[in-house]
Structure 1
Amino acid sequence: MKEILIISNYYPPEKGAAANRIEQLALKLRQNNYTVSVVCPLGNYPKGELFPEYKGKFWVTENRENITVKRLWIYPSVSQNLLVRIVSVLSFSLSLFFYLMFTKTPQKVVVQSPPLLLSFVSVLVLSMKQKKIILNVSDLWPLAAIELKALKKDSFSHKASLFMERFIYKKAALVLGQSKEIMSHIHSFFHEKKVYLYRNFPDHQVAEIDFETTEKQPIKLFYAGLLGVAQGVLELCEKIKLEGLNIELHLLGDGAEKSQIEAVIQSKPAQKIFFHGMLERKDLHEKLKGFDIAIVPLKTRIYGSVPSKIFEYGSLGFPILYFGGGEGEGIVLENNLGWIAQVGNFEDLNEKLVSISKLDKNELGLMKKAAFYQSKKVFNLDLQIKDLIEKGVF
C-alpha cells in the first residue's frame, strides 16, 4: 500500500473549513488505498487554547478513521498582539522542524500552505531529505495579507514572506491550487511548474435533500463559519438592513470577532440577527435544515481566494448570496447558484436583500433543489481525487 504524509496547521476535532478540507483529503486518499498519516498541532483552533484532552501534553498520536494523526506541541493563541501570535507560530514551526528532521517520513508528502512559515519549514527540511513535495495552496500569502492590510507592502516581513513563498513554489515537485488565479500566480514565477486545480469540494454523501420549510416563517439567511477579520461578518452585522424585510440573519461559528458581533446584535434588536454559537458538524447540518439561503461574505476581494462555503452549502442544497468578489462570483453565476452582490458594496447587498425578501417559500424550494442537483453534479470530490490520482499527482 502506498504511503503519504499530510502536514497541516489544522485538523479535526478542530473546527472550520481548513480542518474539514484536510480531513476530506486524508479520508479520500485512504479510500483509494493509501496509508495516510497527518502531522498537525495539538488541537486548539479556533479558540486559541488547547482542548482539554491535549492539555499538559507535548505530543499525541491518535488513530482517526484509520489515519494516524501525530499532534505536536504548540503555544496556542488567537491574541491580537502581534508578538504573541509570532511566538505561537514559531512554537509549532520548531516542533515541526525537529519532527521532520529526526523522524522517518514517507517519500510523498502533502504540505498545506498557508500558514507560510510552516510550509516553508516543511519544504526546507523535506527538500533536504529529497522527498516528493506536493504543495497544497489554498490562499496566496503574502498577497492576501497585503490586501487585508495585515502586512505592510515592502516591509521586512513582506520581503521575507515573498522569499519564503517563492522558495516553496520552487522546491515543490508539483502544486495543487484551489483556484485558477492561484495557478496563474504560481506560473507567473515558474512557467514550467506542474500546477493542478484542486477545489475544496465537500463530501456530504447526501442522496436527497430534506428541508424543513414553513410557508409563514420569514426567509432565514445564515452564515456558518469563522468569525474572523477576513470574513467581514462584524461589518456585515453593522451595515446590513433587515428592518421591514421578511428576512432573518442567523450566525453560527466562533472566532476573533465573536464578542464584538454579539455586542452589535444586542444593540440592534430590530435587525433580526441571531447568534447560535459554534456547533458540531453533525448538529450544524441538522440546524441548517430550517434555514433557506447561505450568505458567503469576504471583507475585501482577495486574489486567489474561493471560499469553500460556495461548494459546501451549494452541495447541501442552499442558494448562495455571494458577497466576496473574485473567482467565486463566476462559480455562482455559471452554476446558477443564487445572487451576487458587489464585494464591500452594502448598498448593492441591501438591494439584493429587498428582492430576496419578496420570494415565497415555493420559489425558494425550487431554487434549493436546483442548487442541490447542480452542485452534486459539478462539485464531485470523488471524481476530482480520482482524476488527480490518474494524473500521478499522489
Structure 2
Amino acid sequence: MEELMIITSYFPPEIGAASNRIYHLAEGLRSSYKVSVVTPLPNYPTGRIFSDYKGKYKSKTLENGIEVNRIWLYASKSKNKFIRLFAMLSYSISLVWFFTWNKIPKKVIVQSPPLLVAFTCMFFLRSKKRKLILNVSDLWPSAGLELGALKNNFSYSILKKLEQFNYKNADLILGQSNEILSHIEQITKKPELFLYRNYPNIPVNNISENHSDTKKIKIVYAGLLGVAQGILKLCENLDYDNIELHIYGSGAEEEDVKSYIETNKELPIFFYGRVDRSVLHQELKKYDVAIIPLLNRIYGSVPSKIFEYAKLGLPMLYFGGGEGESVISKHKLGWIAEAGNYTELNSIINSIKKSDITIERKKAIQATAYTSFDLTAQLNGLKGKI
C-alpha cells in the first residue's frame, strides 16, 4: 500500500478543532494509504507536555492503524512573542532532524498554520518526485493582523513572504473555506485547489425532548477560551434577563472568565472547565442554543463548531461574521448577529422563545447536517485529488 505522511502541530490526545480535524483526515485516508503522522509531544492548550509524555524526547506508537511519531518541542503558552517564536522554532528544528534520519514518503500533507512550521516542511521536502499537499485552515499572517496579534511591520512582511512560498511550492492546497481558496488564487495559480471543510465524524445521536427546569433559554459555549473567541467580553455584554450562559473549555482567558463569574455571582453564568469530547456531546444535549462567537470577523475562518453542532441537532447563534454566516443561513441552522455588535446580539437573543426550540427543529438541523456535511463523500473526493 502506498505511504502518506501528515505533518501537524496538533493531534489527539490534544483537544480542539485542529487535532480532531487532522485525526479524522488520517483515519479517513487509512483505507487507501499507509498513513503516518508527525506531531509534537502533546501540549495543547495547556502549554505543558502532557504527564504521560513528560521526560520523553520522542515517541512512536501505532494508534488505530496510524503510525504516530511524536517529537520534541519547547512547550509554552506564553504571551511573550519571542518565547512563542522559540517554541515554533524548536518544533521546526525537530522536524529537520526527523527529515534527516527518516524516510519521507512521496506524498505528504502539511498543516498550516503555524506558518513557520509549514515553511520548514515545504522548504526541506520540496522535490520533483514528491507531492506536497498543504492543508490551510486559517490565513496567517493576515488573520493575526485582524486579531491584533500581529502588527503591519517588517516581521509581518517576512511572514507574508513565507506564506507565498508555501502556496507556490504546494502541488495541492486544501482550504477550509471558499475565502481561503480565493485568497490563495490571488497569489498563485500553480497548485490545484480543493475545498475541504472541517466536517466531524460523529455517529448519529438520538434527539430527545429536553425537559428543562427553567423558563430561561440555556445557551452554551464550548471550546477554546482564547483571544479570538472573546468569551470574557461576551460574559460582560450579554443581557441575562432571558438566558443562562454555560461555558465549557480552557485557554488564555480561562482565569479571567472564572474571576468575572466569581465577582458577579448574581449572573446566571456557569463554568465547567474542559471535558472530553465524548462527554461534551452528551452534555450539549441539555442546552437549547449553542453560541459561536468571534471577537472580530476573521477572513477565511469558518468555525468547525458549526458542522459539529449541526450533527448534534443543536440550533446555533452565530456571532462571528464572514463565510460562517452564509453556512448558517443557507442551511437554516439558527440565528445570526453581526460580529462585535452586542446590541444586535442581545436583541436577537431576546427575540428567541423557548417554544422556538422544538424537537422537530433539532431533528431538521441534524438531518440537514448528515446530508450536506458528509465527511465520507468529502474524503472520497479528496482521494481522487491526491
* Aligned mates of 2:257, 2:117 — CA distance in 1: 30
User: Could you list the per-position Cα deviations for residues 275-313 of structure 1 after superposition, in whole angstroms to 9, with x for gaps in the alignment?
Assistant: 000001111111112112111111100000100011111
Letter aligned with residue 214 of structure 1: S
Aligned-partner SS, 2:314: coil
Q: Answer with 116-125 or 217-226: which moved more.
A: 217-226
Unaligned runs of 5+ in 2: none
**What is the rounded CA distance, in whole Å, between the counterparts of 1:207 and 1:250 in structure 2?**
21
Cα offset for 1:270?
2.9
Cα distance between partner residues in 2 of 1:168 and 1:253: 32
Specify the alignment match of 2:27 in structure 1. 27
Counterpart residue type for residue 386 of structure 1: N
Q: Which residue of 2 aligns with 1:4?
A: 4
Q: What residue number does 1:93 align with?
A: 92
2:271 matches 1:272 = no
Secondary structure at the counterpart of residue 271 of structure 1:
coil
Alignment of 1:16 onto 2:10: no
Separation of aligned partners in 2, 1:141 and 1:364: 40
Corresponding residue for residue 176 of structure 2: 178
Tell me if structure 2 keeps the 8 A contact 1:113–1:136: yes
Deviation at 1:265, TM superposition (A): 1.3
Per-residue deviation, 1:102: 2.8
Of 218, 221, 224 in structure 2, the residue corresponding to residue 220 of structure 1 is: 218
Give the 3 Å change call, closer, same or farther, for CA 225–207 of structure 1 in structure 2. Answer: closer
- Does structure 2 retain, via aligned residues, the 8 Å contact 1:152–1:158? yes
- What's the CA shift string for 1:302-326, capped at 9, x where partnerless? 0001000111111110011000000
Q: Which moved more, 1:370-379 or 1:129-138?
A: 129-138
Aligned-pair distance for 1:129? Answer: 7.5
1:46 maps onto 2:45 in alignment: yes
Q: Describe how 1:224-263 pairs up with structure 2 within 5 A.
A: 224-242=222-240, 244-245=241-242, 247-263=243-259
Counterpart position of 1:370:
364
1:241-272 Cα distance to aligned partner (Å, 9 max, x none): 11x21x21111011011000111112222321
Match of 1:380 among 374, 377, 384: 374
Cα 1:151/1:363, change in 2 over 3 Å = closer
Distance 2:140 2:129 in 1: 25
Q: Does the Cα contact within 8 Å between 1:3 and 1:106 map onto a contact in 2?
A: yes
Preserved CA contact (<8 Å) 1:133 1:172 = yes
Unaligned runs of 5+ in 1: none
Q: Which residue of 2 aligns with 1:351?
A: 347
Separation in structure 2 between the aligned mates of residue 143 and residue 8 of structure 1, nearest angstrom:
20
Counterparts of 2:237 and 2:292 in 1: how far apart (Å)?
15
AA paired with 1:388?
Answer: L
Relative to the length of structure 1, the TM-score reads 0.95
- What secondary structure is seen at the aligned counterpart in 1 of 2:69? strand
Cα distance in 1, alignment partners of residues 128 and 266 from structure 2: 60
Instruction: Report percent identity of matched pairs.
Output: 48
- State the partner residue of 1:303: 299
Match of 1:281 in 2: 277
Give, in angstroms, the shift of residue 33 of structure 1: 2.7
- Deviation string 1:162-185 (CA, Å, 9 cap, x unpaired) is 110000100000100000000100
RMSD of the TM alignment (CA)?
Answer: 1.4
Measure the CA separation in 2 of the matches of 1:210 and 1:34: 39
> Does structure 2 retain, via aligned residues, the 8 Å contact 1:211–1:290?
no
Q: Give me the whole-angstrom Cα distance separating, in 1, the residues matched to 2:109 and 2:209.
A: 37
Letter aligned with residue 257 of structure 2: I
In structure 2, what is the equivalent of residue 324 of structure 1? 320
> Hey, what's the Cα distance between the residues in 2 that align with 1:234 and 1:352?
20
TM-superposed deviation, 1:215: 6.6
DSSP 3-state at the match of 2:358? helix
Instruction: Measure how far apart 1:105 and its partner are.
Output: 1.2
2:56 matches 1:62 = no
Question: Hey, what's the Cα distance between the residues in 2 that align with 1:209 and 1:18?
Answer: 27
